[in-house]
């Protein structure tokens, strides 16, 4: 029974590590901005 709990704990730790790695291993300064899209407040002023 202890072996099953240890294996489940290992799988949980592996899952948490994979999620953490994918969340925080992106670009250093975040996503690149798309220069072709106008600012959101500029669109609301046109209406």
3-class SS letters over the chain: CHHHHHHHHHHHHHHHHHHHHHHHCCCCCCCCCCCCCCCHHHHHHHC
Per-residue model confidence as pLDDT tens digits over 1-47: 999 999 999 999 999 999 999 988 776 776 667 777 666 675 565 55
pLDDT at 36: 76
pLDDT at 46: 58
pLDDT at 30: 65
Length of the chain: 47
pTM: 0.53
Q: Which two tokens stand for residue 20?
A: 């953490």
* Region of 30 on the Ramachandran plot (φ > 0 left; ψ -120 to 50 alpha; else beta): left
């Amino acid at each position: 029974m202890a072996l099953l709990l240890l294996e489940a704990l290992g799988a949980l730790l592996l899952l948490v590590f994979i999620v953490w790695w994918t969340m925080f291993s992106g670009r250093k300064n975040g996503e690149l901005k798309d220069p072709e899209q106008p600012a959101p407040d500029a669109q609301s002023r046109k209406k």
